[in-house]
A and B are shown apart, each in its own frame.
Chain A
């Protein structure tokens, strides 16, 4: 009984840790790649594009962070985070002519 409890707690703790990692690091990289891509789409001067992009970055980070805690399935969260980070990165490189 107590062993089952411990196992449950450990599993629960690990899932919480994983969720925090997803929110903090996944959220960070998703935001970073999104605003990098966004800056390419803002058709003003380079300075203005950078400024607009960084100004919305925090808002984006918060939304991702909260979404990570609101969605139930942890696997789904990681899957979406990783694919979208890769996708954004590829798209940015494609637009810049890197590929």
Chain B
């Protein structure tokens, strides 16, 4: 019984792992990059690079933000003031306008320099890190709901593969210290084990909590059982701040915004504010919503206060004192998104994410190697094996290449291009498609090697492209202690280096007459991004 359980788990691990591994690689890859979502948005927006760290008090910032909106959009149905943070230096001021029945309201976003409170010139239209963030769970060119179900399904398979992987791992500690780089498929297995086992707690945590982020789509049943109107009723209870406030036809003559803020500052003087939203600032339905900042707390939803804009009295609060269940649920989502992480922890998240990519990639490659090793001399690869080999190259080599392309597009596309942000994304997908098409024709070791060199070249030239198209470069970043921007250049160069070594490794193997099953462990180390 024990032996058959072991065997059924081995079988399960292999097949569950293979079926969705390329989708999983995409999810892991995009998720890993998304840990630096705001940093990428910063990199993609050179006009923001020179903004000094905010030195203003938060009430000054809120006042000036609201003042700006009062001038710019008195008739908007929503004002939004997002305060600068460690990761986002600018003050965000946005307003929303109703577009009539059945149409989505239109947002207009502006950004101010928090120190001078003047508008930032030269902003470009870009999705920044949000592209990868959305790609992580909404995929792209696809219905959102369908995409999320697919992502859920893949994550479930991932979790099953992880658990069955632990079960089949008889000697978890011995394998942890074992790496045999010159032993063909064994080397791949070792790379797979090493990347899996070292970061296993992270993989389990990130997959489980990832599923929790989409849990109400996956399992709406408890809410449907307890609430007569199902999820809608639950949401009304759990997210009081998301209740829609209907506009009134009566104009607001004397706004009581100042009374409201005075009450807030007096009662919660030390509360750091994340954002302030005012709904219907121009009529009597007006209400002020204040969201507190969670900082490094393991919490997802922000504490919330809602004031009346007509009288200035406190109408409701939420999550000031969360229950244990809210802490559990919110905590899981918080550790998944990593918003709580300071730079050190964020890098750890990133490295563990890369380990996840390596785990998935080495698993895919190992499968193909094992099948091709089983082929008899003279036997040609069947369709399944060809498909796996093509998908392997297309995903593992194509995604980093496409990511580099996305960064180039951000710097090189003309600023006046219409729908520029979408064009950047288009470049990403075109490069990925071209890689996939090439890998249909060439799947051998040579293709891996040339893609590795291509990756090395584009990542190496990226800091140079950045230096030529913006005011800064690696030297000035270090001189001015702009560590975020400096680490971008260093990370680009490091990625190039890894790809270069990988290409060399593959080249030396191609020249030697050793049988093609020799180690290519470097392939797995390449999905730095």
A residues contacting B by CB (< 8 A) are 31-33, 35-40, 44-55, 57-59, 61-62, 65-66, 69-70, 72, 92, 96
Contacts and interface: CB of A to CB of B under 8 A. Distances in A.
A39 to B, nearest CB: 4
Contacts of A39: 221-222, 225-226
A46 B224 contact: no
B54 interface: no
A48 B219 contact: no
Kindly name the residue among A31, A47, A59 whose own CB sees the greatest number of chain B CB atoms within 10 A: A47
Interface of B: 4-5, 8-9, 11-12, 156, 159-160, 163-164, 208, 211-212, 215-216, 218-219, 221-227, 234, 237-238, 323-326, 328-329, 332
Contacts of B11: 69
Contacts of A35: 219, 221-222
A69 B12 contact: yes
A52 B219 contact: no
Contacts of B332: 55
Interface secondary structure of B, over-half rule: helix
Contact of A48 (B156, B212, B227, B323): B323
B219 A44 contact: no
A49 B219 contact: no
19 contacts: A31-B219, A32-B219, A35-B222, A36-B225, A39-B225, A46-B226, A46-B237, A47-B234, A48-B323, A52-B328, A53-B219, A53-B222, A54-B215, A55-B215, A55-B332, A57-B218, A69-B164, A70-B5, A70-B9
Contacts of B238: 47, 50-51
Contacts of A36: 221-222, 224-225
A40 B226 contact: yes
Contacts of A66: 9, 12, 160, 163-164
Contacts of A65: 156, 160
A48 B326 contact: yes
Nearest to B208: A58
Contacts of A47: 234, 237-238, 323, 325-326
Contacts of A50: 222-223, 226, 234, 238
Contact of A54 (B8, B159, B219, B227): B219
Given A66-B163, A72-B4, A48 B12 contact: no
A92 to B, nearest CB: 6
A91 B156 CA distance: 28
A49 B221 contact: no
A23 B156 CA distance: 11
A29 to B, nearest CB: 10
A96 B160 CA distance: 34
Contacts of A53: 219, 222
Contacts of B221: 32-33, 35-36, 39
B164 A58 contact: no
Contacts of A59: 208
Contact of A69 (B9, B216, B218): B9
A44 B227 contact: no
Contact of A44 (B5, B223, B323): B323
Nearest to B156: A61
Contacts of B5: 70
Contacts of A32: 219, 221
B224 A44 contact: no
B325 A48 contact: yes
Contacts of B323: 44-45, 47-48
Contacts of B224: 36
Contacts of B324: 48
Contacts of B219: 31-32, 35, 53-54, 57
A57 B329 CA distance: 12
Given A51-B325, A54-B215, A72-B4, A46 B227 contact: yes
